[in-house]
């Protein structure tokens, strides 16, 4: 598959995280010549938190993951690529429980401390024989790089995705490294992809969950590619506690605010990479909404614009058709008033207070739309609520990829 034109030039250098060992193996869930099972072994005492899809037809992996998060500790992660194992009934659940038991037996831990994710075609049970053989191979494999792991969790992705962040807490450097996969079936509620963040921070699970919720609300829940929420979406964060910092217990703990900022930063980086690999994407679009009744209202308006096929195809065609933005604001179901609405492209005002800008010159807007990063500004003119969401354009490439996804 051709690499996205929005992809970074190279995979970033991600620091190793003490207490995390990565391995990959070939389970051969599909007829492809690549690793498709990723295994991360975590040191004892690792805290875990996460967010999962709100799709009501979620996979067994998601259901069991939610239960595991309640326990607050993790010893391993297994990710299967090529088969989502969703909508597969008891057979799908048995396959996940088999993996959990197999890894738990190897590590001598509780099965609930083993987290499993799967991604790929919906409606096909994960083959238990292939899963068992793949896990066996991973348990005895040599350790691998972050890039190897990022490639192994991918499906229709055109490039491996990773990001890092760091922060000083009480004289100790705390590092975060993360990988993610996602290209299509991307709409926020919460995330619509598989993402994994690893840190050496010492932090209590309850606080880590609170911080993950906040980071997600500002990142993964603010992206969309096609408006479709997957059955398997999961983002997990694992904290090994090896950095040597005084444990973060509450929001008042020294360094808690700094860690929240770092976690939000890496989540935002990863979220942007997913959008930049949107199926068929040629342009990365940032939509900033201000003047809304509330921040939540601003986010919903932003997503109404970002999910509009008419807006996305206009951007793909480099057409400054701002009337489609007006339409998307009006249909969002949020407080809005046509007589206070203002719109800009690339910082150039095209409409203000309910009217087209007098003497509007489309030339600078047209020039902006020829670039790869597009900025749309919308001021509702009603309040102080604001939000930023990100999406990509909609091209023929999206149809080509999804018309023969199973072949």
- Residues designated as active site: 192
Tokens matching residue 336:
């809005």
Which residues touch 31 (CB under 8 Å, ≥6 apart)?
Answer: none
Q: How far, in whole angstroms, is CA 267 from its chain's centroid?
A: 7
Q: How far, in whole angstroms, is CA 27 from its chain's centroid?
A: 24
Decide the pairing of beta strands 373-379 and 284-292.
Answer: parallel
Q: What is the rounded CA–CA span in Å between residue 217 and residue 211?
A: 10
Q: What is the rounded CA–CA span in Å between residue 326 and residue 310?
A: 11
Token pair 């929240």 is found at: 260
CB neighbours (10 Å) of residue 90? 9
Contact 87, 58 (CB under 8 A): no
Q: How far, in whole angstroms, is CA 354 from its chain's centroid?
A: 35
Q: How far, in whole angstroms, is CA 277 from its chain's centroid?
A: 11
* 236: nearest Cα among 18, 355, 71: 71
Side-chain-side CA neighbours of residue 99 (13 Å):
35
What is the CA angle 327-289-320, rounded to 5? Answer: 50
Q: What is the rounded CA–CA span in Å between residue 309 and residue 394?
A: 7
Instruction: Characterize 346-364 residue by residue with b for buried, 16 or more Cβ atoms within 10 angstroms of its Cβ, and e for exposed.
Output: bebebbbeeeebeeeeeee
* 4: nearest Cα among 186, 275, 373: 275
DSSP conformation class of 248: B
Distances (CA, A) of 259 to 171, 264, 313, 331: 13, 9, 39, 38
Give the SS3 label for residue 258: helix
Contact 87, 230 (CB under 8 A): no
């Amino acid at each position: 598959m051709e690499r996205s034109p929005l992809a970074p030039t190279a995979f970033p250098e991600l620091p190793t995280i003490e207490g995390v060992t990565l391995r990959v193996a070939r389970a051969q869930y599909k007829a492809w010549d690549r690793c498709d099972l990723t295994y991360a072994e975590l040191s004892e005492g690792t805290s875990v938190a996460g967010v999962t899809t709100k799709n009501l037809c979620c996979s067994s992996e998601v259901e069991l993951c939610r239960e595991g998060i309640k326990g607050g500790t993790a010893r391993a992660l297994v990710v299967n690529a090529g088969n989502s194992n969703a909508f597969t009934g008891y057979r799908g659940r048995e396959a996940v429980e088999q993996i959990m038991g197999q890894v738990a037996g190897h590590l001598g831990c509780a099965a609930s401390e083993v987290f499993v994710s799967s991604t790929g075609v919906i409606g096909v049970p994960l083959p238990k024989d292939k899963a068992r053989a793949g896990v066996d191979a991973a348990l005895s494999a040599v350790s691998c790089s972050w890039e190897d792991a990022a490639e192994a969790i991918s499906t229709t992705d055109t490039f491996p995705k990773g990001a890092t962040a760091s922060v000083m807490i009480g004289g100790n450097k705390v590092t975060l490294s993360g990988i993610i996969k996602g290209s299509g079936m991307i709409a926020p509620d919460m995330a619509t992809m598989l993402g994994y963040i690893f840190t050496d921070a010492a932090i209590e699970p309850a606080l880590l969950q609170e911080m993950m919720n906040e980071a997600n609300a500002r990142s993964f829940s603010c992206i969309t590619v096609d408006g479709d929420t997957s059955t398997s979406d999961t983002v997990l964060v694992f904290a090994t506690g090896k950095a040597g910092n005084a444990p973060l217990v509450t929001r008042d703990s020294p360094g808690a605010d700094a860690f929240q900022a770092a976690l939000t930063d890496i989540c935002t980086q990863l979220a942007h990479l997913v959008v930049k690999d949107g199926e068929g994407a040629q342009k990365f679009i940032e939509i900033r909404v201000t003047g809304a009744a509330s921040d939540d209202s601003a986010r919903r308006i932003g997503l109404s614009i970002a999910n509009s096929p008419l807006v996305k195809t206009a951007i793909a065609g480099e057409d400054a058709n701002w009337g489609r933005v007006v339409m998307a604001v009006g249909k969002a179901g949020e407080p809005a008033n046509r007589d206070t609405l203002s719109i800009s492209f690339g910082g150039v005002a095209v409409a203000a207070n309910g009217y087209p800008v007098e003497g509007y010159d489309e030339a600078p807007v047209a020039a902006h739309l020829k670039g790869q990063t597009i900025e749309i500004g919308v001021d509702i003119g009603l309040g102080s609520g604001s939000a930023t969401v990100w999406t990509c354009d909609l091209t023929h490439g999206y149809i080509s990829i999804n018309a023969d996804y199973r072949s």
